[in-house]
Structure 1
Amino acid sequence: MKRRELIQSAVALSVMGAFGGLSPALAQDAGAFRKVRREVPRSTPGKIDVVEFFWYGCIHCYNFEPKVNAWHKKLPSDVVFTKIPIAYQSQRVNFQGHQRLYYTLETMGKLDMAHSKVFEAMHKDKKQLANDEQIFDFAESIGLKREEFANVFKSFGVNAKCAQAKTIFEAYGADGVPTLGIDGKFFTSASIAGSEDNAIRVAEALIRRQRQA
């Protein structure tokens, strides 16, 4: 989903193979992935970074979630997989709050319990999570202590994680979500590769390429 579509989608909420056997070079000729704007250093020396850029309010991210989760659990031990919530600048959409929500859950060790519940709240229950208080209400509704959650939400540690996410997303130069970033050098998505399955197969080809680099 492109940036403009993301914002349009969020405003609407508030109102109511083929590459598996191909070499990376051939995949690039087919337009199945892009090179990053600026290379991103590896987070862990000797490991291959794979990131998924997403936004909780994106219906495509919600639909992609089961598939990408099943995939990343089977990645080899030399691959480090990280989810990165994006936050565009917008006066109409609470991108920053949704990003902080993710990193607050991560900091509190509650992602396994709560990550899918955020998606369901926004897309099944049509909760807007349009401001901090609505986010705190949601956190309390799933059994988290409101004051503790709010303190972490506003903490320096969460600020730092959001700033790092912004730096990485801008370096990749992707213009929509969900997007898979490979080792700070390439990215692909269903819109680029043609389908979710193709995006995953292209990502696997790029992982193999980076392993041999």
Structure 2
Amino acid sequence: MKKLMACLVALMMVPMAAFADFKEGVNYDIINQGKATATPEVREFFSFYCPHCYTFDKGYIPTLKAKLKESSVPLKQNHVDFIGREMGVEMSKAFAIAEQLGVLERIKPAMFAAIHDYKRPPATAKQIRDLFIANDVKPEDYDKAASSFMVQTQLAQMEQRTKNAKISGVPTFVVNGKYRVNTQSIKSFEELTDLIMYLTKKD
């Protein structure tokens, strides 16, 4: 019985030990000296042009979402516009339009695939519009969203968040609006999840 209790205690201590190993300045940085967000949240900064972001989106993000859902923590995304030269802003706008129309889960994989699988990245705003239409978005709905105040507001917010978090590479995660994860310090998806979950509970 004593051996069993000792084993159970050891197993319970494993995640705590892992959490204790995470260090500020090594595994994460504090980007906001003020208060964290009112409720825990995780935000992924990404670009459609980033191959690693595509890998994350297919192989890791669904797992992370499921884990966060257990704690009622939302996973949000923020497209960055500093990759892709002049098309970077257009891609951010495409992301905002897809979110406003509620078709992100359809458009996002189509956009990633066009760029990375088929090597046919949209080169103009019209080609982005064509991609939406090819994926069952009505032209009039796209045009209305593209010129909407909500999309312009979201674009400005994404740009400001990127600057505030001092994002210079993607994919990057920011937790509670305060902690920026150093993904280069992480050795596995499991460790990344542990770190993110640790940071959601830090405040």
TM-score above 0.5? yes
Partner of 2:74: 80
Give the distance between the partners of 2:185 and 2:79, measured in 1 at CA.
Answer: 20
Shift of 1:20: 7.7
2:60 is the counterpart of 1:64: no
2:113 is the counterpart of 1:120: yes
Partner of 1:11: none
Shift of 1:159: 0.6
**Aligned-residue identity in percent:** 21
CA offsets per residue over residues 20-54 of structure 1, 9 Å max, x none? 84335x31167111221565752xx3x20110111
Structure 1 stretches lacking a partner, 5+ long:
1-17
SS in 2 for 1:121: helix
Q: Which has the larger radius of gyration?
A: 2
For the 8 Å contact 1:19–1:27, the answer to whether it is kept is no
For the 8 Å contact 1:36–1:172, the answer to whether it is kept is yes
CA separation of 1:113/1:54 partners in 2, compared to 1, >3 Å: closer, same or farther? same
2:127 is the counterpart of 1:134: yes
CA separation of 1:157/1:28 partners in 2, compared to 1, >3 Å: closer, same or farther? same
The one-letter code of the counterpart of 2:43 is V
Q: What is the root-mean-square deviation in Å for CA atoms of aligned residues?
A: 2.5
Shift of 1:183: 0.3
SS in 1 for 2:43: strand
SS in 2 for 1:52: strand
The one-letter code of the counterpart of 1:23 is F
The structure 1 segments of at least 4 consecutive aligned residues displaced by more than 4 Å after TM superposition are 37-41
TM-score (norm 2): 0.81
For the 8 Å contact 1:23–1:205, the answer to whether it is kept is yes
Give the distance between the partners of 2:36 and 2:136, measured in 1 at CA.
Answer: 37
SS in 2 for 1:56: coil
Partner of 1:12: none
SS in 1 for 2:122: coil
Give the distance between the partners of 2:33 and 2:24, measured in 1 at CA.
Answer: 21
Give the distance between the partners of 1:195 and 1:40, measured in 2 at CA.
Answer: 29
The one-letter code of the counterpart of 2:55 is N
CA separation of 1:153/1:89 partners in 2, compared to 1, >3 Å: closer, same or farther? same
The one-letter code of the counterpart of 1:153 is A
Give the distance between the partners of 1:190 and 1:140, measured in 2 at CA.
Answer: 36
SS in 2 for 1:73: helix
Shift of 1:112: 2.3
